[in-house]
């Protein structure tokens, strides 16, 4: 019998041709992806995995998208993207299931080593020693985030890097080996329809239109954001309808807008082929609104969509299921028969189930082996001690159905408590096992908050400032200006973005004339959009560049705080060392006036930003030294310059481009015998002034400038000073119980200074309210010279009331 050859399809607009085999391969990938969603959900609902969120209903559009993603390109998406991740090789099924079970190995969950929920994908762009891997030969995926729409900001930056790699000669030459082939790379962002209601979405869209970067945004529209329908999310209930104003007029700039249905394989192939081609060639951003998508299993494993979707909607979702529609179309087009597809589907579902089982066993095996070791030791302990309770603990541990490391940890702990009064040799072994298991688990769960590479800021050697005999004395801003001038000249990766940094050269003229000298791509004015200025920096830093993100005032970092905390600060941690974004945020704080220019919300930063170094230089020379060090290193950092310091005089170091101030190393600004005054930033000058008065009162104060709040005093400078003086005052401009409490805890608890104090330690802070405008307002709300004198005097009087009588 003659067999008919299978047809080849050709898409009507882009003219893509696909053989029947290629279509079947696509289809089977969609089927396997769906099976992963269904099986994944079951695993959560039966208690074997912690949480599930999957990409069911989004499969077919992602097959089409994946075809356009090339080596060197980036994805910046969200948790619905498993199909595009499978299709581009960013993820495999075993890896997907390993993440579902929170497997803690990088080998099995390369996205997050068990630190992120399932479907939070990422490529490993750093090698084991923390150095960049080439990203021009791989399809890259930025590490997914859970906060809705937060991927949009750094998507802008990933695309912006292409612009720099294409347009700036120095940057292009630098990028060639590892990062970019002439800036041809596209960033593919994905976002949910409800995510379009977030402010950050609009900010990113607007910035993309202004900047003209190769960003292709896909909106996966399944009609809801959990239970809330489109009508309550966006005006007119349709994102494409309302963004039409972004579309470019003839020959003009803008964001191209397209609409396509999520089950229409051929239209999707066409749309993505045509749109990607122009985004890549023209560096013109585009938005593809993919409508009529479905969510057959509901939003996540936390709920069921039958509660909020109407019967009609549920019926629509069944009818418009993209896999079912693709199947009907394939049969219609005679690309495959129903019987063939049935066979593939059966085979694929079994294959996925086998992969899942293997992933589970591989995840559980080492944990169960560790448990067996613990059980064996507990049994010996029971025998040696004769304690019945220990035998029970061993039995309970052995019977525990769930593979979790905490059970052995708690059992060993409980056994040691039980044996507290018994002198049995096995105790030493129990302690040793508990200690080693804990150490390994700390490494497993707590590592990679900061860099541990050779470029960690803690490993970069400091260089002291040098001064010529005739060193000029200049405004502080000039010290920084020369530092940045040299930095831009010697390091082609560095560029500065922010409000008023370019043409004006910063509102305090710190960059005056630098744009004219180094070019508009190295110092670039941006719109007033702090969150996406940061995102622009994060994305570019992920592609090897070294942005200075300039936030005009520290108080306005609040607009970007979500991203600083959620994306920048966690990137290294959440990828277990697989990605980094060494962004340096430059801002100004401390000591101006008015509610929004007081600039001292340090506790907020300390609480929100572990993962970001926090530098609080007292003057511009120290700031320059910190910048020089940070650009040699690979941790992200926030540098808060003293806002009132740009016109204060400083001597210009002769090695301004080379000097480096180490992080975590406080400086003793004044030696003294009677009390230790610990402070930082703008308070240093106030503290030193107060010391002159205190000297007259017979009190000799040692002043310690912490210089950085993260890391904080790595060498125990505070403790050593307190050892000499026996008294401590911590002074800063934050609220009571803010950074001062953090510093106090470090001195007393971490450095053990509690026992070295003759009198109780004190803190001196701003008031627990707000700072009004005007010098008087400042005087009565922030610590000033007299406040410092009073605080230190009070301590001296407490120690020796006869010598230091009552004054106030």
Ligand X SMILES: Cc1ncc(C[n+]2csc(CCOP(=O)(O)OP(=O)(O)O)c2C)c(N)n1
> Which tokens in the block code for residue 763?
């803190």
- Residue that the structure tokens 């090789």 belong to: 89
- Residue that the structure tokens 């070019």 belong to: 519
Of the candidates 773, 398, 750, which has an alpha carbon nearest to the alpha carbon of residue 594? 773
Cβ neighbours of residue 237 closer than 8 Å, sequence gap 6 or more: 229, 230, 231
What whole-number distance in Å separates Cα of residue 173 and Cα of residue 168? 9
Q: Does the annotation count 518 as an active-site position?
A: no
> Which tokens in the block code for residue 679?
């402070």
| Residue number with CB closer to ligand X (111 or 220) | 220
CB of 113 to ligand X, least distance (A): 22
Are the C-beta atoms of 600 and 733 separated by less than 8 Å? yes
CB of 151 to ligand X, least distance (A): 11
| Residue number with CB closer to ligand X (226 or 773) | 226
Phi-psi region of 599 (alpha: psi -120 to 50; beta: other; left: phi over 0): left
Binding stretches for ligand X (CB under 6 A): 80, 146-148, 192-195, 220, 222, 224-226, 299
CB of 548 to ligand X, least distance (A): 27
| Residue number with CB closer to ligand X (225 or 662) | 225
CB of 194 to ligand X, least distance (A): 3
CB of 308 to ligand X, least distance (A): 12
Q: Which of 120, 289, 350, 597 is catalytic?
A: 597
| Residue number with CB closer to ligand X (146 or 361) | 146
| Residue number with CB closer to ligand X (192 or 535) | 192
CB of 289 to ligand X, least distance (A): 12
Helix (H, G, I), strand (E, B) or coil at 249: coil
Q: What share of the chain is helix, strand, coil (3-state, %, to 5)?
A: 45, 15, 40
Of the candidates 282, 261, 260, 216, which has an alpha carbon nearest to the alpha carbon of residue 75? 216
Are the C-beta atoms of 392 and 399 separated by less than 8 Å? no
Residue 470 CA: distances (Å) to CA of 437, 647, 700: 60, 20, 32
| Residue number with CB closer to ligand X (487 or 568) | 568
Residue nearest to ligand X (CB): 192
Of the candidates 209, 192, 367, 370, which has an alpha carbon nearest to the alpha carbon of residue 295? 192
CB of 624 to ligand X, least distance (A): 38
| Residue number with CB closer to ligand X (220 or 627) | 220
Residue 220 CA: distances (Å) to CA of 232, 254, 611: 17, 21, 32
Of the candidates 88, 44, 93, 64, which has an alpha carbon nearest to the alpha carbon of residue 299? 44
CB of 761 to ligand X, least distance (A): 40
Cis amide prior to 168 (ω within 30 degrees): no
CB of 770 to ligand X, least distance (A): 28
With b meaning 16 or more CB within 10 Å and e meaning fewer, what string describes 357-366?
A: eebbebbbee
Do the bridges between strand 546-551 and strand 494-498 make them parallel or antiparallel, or are there none, so unpaired? parallel
Q: How far is C-alpha 265 from the geometric centre of its chain's CA atoms?
A: 35
| Residue number with CB closer to ligand X (81 or 109) | 81
| Residue number with CB closer to ligand X (299 or 371) | 299
- Residue that the structure tokens 């406080």 belong to: 666
* 685 membership: H or E segment, kind and range: helix 683-696
Q: Which amino acids are annotated catalytic? A: 597
């Amino acid at each position: 019998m003659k067999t008919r050859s299978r047809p080849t399809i050709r898409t009507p607009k882009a003219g893509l041709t696909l053989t029947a085999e290629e279509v079947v391969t696509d289809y089977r990938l969609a089927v396997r992806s769906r099976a992963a969603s269904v099986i994944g959900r079951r695993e959560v609902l039966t208690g074997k995995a912690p949480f599930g969120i999957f990409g069911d209903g989004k499969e077919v559009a992602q097959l089409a998208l994946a075809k356009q993603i090339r080596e060197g390109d980036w994805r910046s998406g969200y948790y619905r993207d498993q199909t595009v991740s499978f299709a581009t090789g960013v993820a495999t099924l075993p890896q997907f299931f390993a993440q579902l079970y929170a497997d803690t190995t990088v080998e099995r969950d390369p996205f997050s080593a068990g630190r992120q929920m399932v479907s939070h994908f990422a490529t490993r762009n750093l090698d084991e020693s923390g150095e960049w891997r080439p990203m021009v030969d791989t399809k890259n995926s930025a590490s997914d985030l859970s906060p809705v729409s937060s991927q949009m900001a750094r998507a802008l930056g990933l695309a912006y890097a292409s612009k720099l790699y294409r347009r700036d000669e120095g940057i292009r030459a630098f990028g060639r080996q590892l990062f970019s082939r002439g800036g041809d790379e596209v960033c593919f962002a994905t976002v949910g329809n409800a995510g379009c209601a977030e402010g950050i979405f609009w900010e990113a869209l607007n910035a993309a239109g202004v900047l003209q970067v190769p960003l292709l945004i896909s909106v996966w529209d399944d009609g809801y954001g959990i239970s809330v329908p489109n009508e309550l999310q966006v005006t007119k209930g349709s994102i494409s309808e309302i963004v039409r104003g972004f579309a470019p007029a003839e020959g003009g700039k803008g964001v191209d807008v397209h609409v396509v249905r999520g089950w229409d394989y051929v239209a999707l192939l066409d749309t993505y082929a045509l749109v990607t081609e122009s985004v890549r060639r023209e560096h013109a951003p585009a938005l593809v609104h993919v409508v009529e998508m479905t969510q057959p299993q509901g939003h996540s494993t936390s709920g069921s969509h039958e509660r909020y979707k109407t019967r009609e909607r549920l019926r629509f979702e069944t009818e418009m299921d993209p896999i079912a529609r693709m199947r009907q179309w394939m049969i219609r087009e005679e690309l495959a028969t129903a019987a063939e597809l049935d066979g593939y589907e059966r085979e694929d579902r079994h294959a996925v189930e086998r992969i899942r089982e293997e992933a589970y066993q591989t995840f559980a095996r080492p944990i169960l082996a560790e448990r067996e070791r613990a059980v064996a030791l507990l049994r010996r302990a029971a025998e040696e001690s004769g304690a019945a309770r220990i035998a029970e603990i061993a039995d309970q541990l052995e019977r525990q159905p769930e593979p979790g490391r905490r059970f052995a940890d708690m059992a060993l702990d409980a056994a040691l408590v039980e044996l507290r009064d018994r002198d049995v040799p096995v105790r030493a072994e129990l302690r040793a096992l508990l200690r080693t298991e804990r150490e390994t688990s700390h490494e497993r769960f707590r590592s990679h908050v900061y860099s541990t590479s050779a470029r960690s800021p803690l490993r970069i050697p400091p260089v002291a400032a040098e001064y010529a005999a005739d060193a000029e004395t200049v405004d502080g801003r000039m010290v920084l200006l020369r530092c940045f001038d040299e930095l831009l000249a010697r390091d082609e990766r560095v560029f500065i973005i922010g409000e008023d940094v370019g043409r004006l050269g910063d509102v305090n003229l710190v960059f005056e004339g630098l744009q004219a000298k180094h070019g508009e791509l190295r110092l670039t004015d941006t719109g007033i959009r702090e969150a996406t200025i940061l995102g622009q920096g994060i994305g570019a830093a992920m592609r090897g560049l070294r942005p200075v993100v300039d936030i005009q005032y520290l108080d306005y970092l609040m607009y970007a705080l979500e991203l600083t905390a959620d994306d920048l600060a966690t990137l290294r941690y959440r990828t277990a060392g697989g990605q980094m974004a060494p962004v340096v945020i430059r801002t100004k704080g401390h000591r101006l006036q008015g509610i929004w220019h007081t600039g001292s919300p340090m506790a907020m930063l300390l609480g929100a930003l572990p993962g970001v170094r926090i530098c609080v230089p007292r003057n511009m020379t120290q700031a320059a030294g910190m910048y020089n060090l940070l650009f040699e290193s690979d941790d992200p950092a926030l540098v808060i310059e003293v806002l009132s310091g740009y016109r204060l005089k400083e001597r210009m170091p002769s090695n301004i481009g080379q000097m480096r101030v180490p992080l975590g190393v406080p400086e003793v600004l004044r030696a003294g015998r009677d009390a230790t005054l610990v402070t930082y930033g703008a308070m240093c000058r106030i503290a030193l002034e107060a010391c002159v008065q205190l000297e007259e009162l017979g009190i000799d104060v040692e002043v310690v400038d912490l210089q950085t709040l993260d890391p904080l005093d790595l060498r125990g400078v505070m403790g050593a000073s307190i050892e000499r003086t026996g008294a401590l005052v911590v002074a800063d401009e934050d609220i009571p119980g803010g950074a001062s409490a953090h510093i106090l805890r470090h001195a007393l608890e971490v450095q053990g200074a509690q026992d070295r104090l003759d009198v109780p330690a004190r803190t001196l802070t701003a008031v627990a309210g707000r700072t009004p405008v005007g010098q008087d307002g400042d005087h009565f709300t922030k610590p000033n010279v007299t406040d410092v004198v009073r605080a230190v005097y009070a301590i001296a009087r407490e120690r020796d009331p006869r010598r230091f009588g009552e004054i106030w």
